[in-house]
A and B are shown apart, each in its own frame.
Chain A
Amino acid sequence: AQTVTQSQPEMSVQEAETVTLSCTYDTSESDYYLFWYKQPPSRQMILVIRQEAYKQQNATENRFSVNFQKAAKSFSLKISDSQLGDAAMYFCAYGSGGATNKLIFGTGTLLAVQP
């Protein structure tokens, strides 16, 4: 069975600085998706970034980028120029697509942004 591990329950970053959130996963599949979702205090789950495993190029969305290491099964999220609005819980998720399209989530990393 696939698993997703986020080993940092909490992180803190100064405004305008860069922070990296870690995620590792375990799977025997070769084709899959990886995601980072953001959950602010409003509780809404917001997709931050997505990576297809077959793509070697790391995904980037404005200030958010990932470091995808397929062989190491690592998928970290880098937030550049951190803003107060980035404060949230961040979840890493694995999806195999396929017939069920289920996502498996990590336990989350709570990010605090200090002014």
Chain B
Amino acid sequence: DAGITQSPRHKVTETGTPVTLRCHQTENHRYMYWYRQDPGHGLRLIHYSYGVKDTDKGEVSDGYSVSRSKTEDFLLTLESATSSQTSVYFCATGGSTNTGELFFGEGSRLTVL
């Protein structure tokens, strides 16, 4: 298994506050992703990275930003959290396009009151 850790695992915050979720990997994978999981929607891609300082938007990127200053770390920031961003957030990594497989972290549950 890819060593992927997310922090924090649980967070409750208030509307309008900034929130940063961290993803750390030990597998030296090139690709990293942030997904959100909501009932009835499955997992939807927020942002992804294909290398250090190389990031791009996914299908639900509004209200989110990301940064990747090192291969092992991928940060997801909610600039001003809203109740619609209450969700479970998953970080994933992929090492090769030859297999297509993604490896997932354990998820971070965020509640915005």
A3-37 interface with B by 8 A CB criterion: 4, 6, 32-33, 35
Verify B90–A50 contact, CB threshold 8 A: no
Verify B42–A33 contact, CB threshold 8 A: no
The interface size bin for chain B is 20 to 34
Chain B residues within 8 Å of A97, by CB: 97-98, 100
Q: Is the interface of B mostly helix, strand, loop or mixed?
A: strand
Stretch at the interface among B17-25, B44-52, B72-80: B44-52
| Number of A interface residues in the complex (CB < 8 A) | 26
Chain B residue nearest in CB terms to A50: B101
Chain B residues within 8 Å of A96, by CB: 100
Q: Contact residues of B with A, CB < 8 Å?
A: 31, 33, 35, 40-45, 48, 50, 56, 58, 88, 90, 92, 94, 96-102, 104, 106-107
Stretch at the interface among A57-65, A77-85, A99-107: A99-107
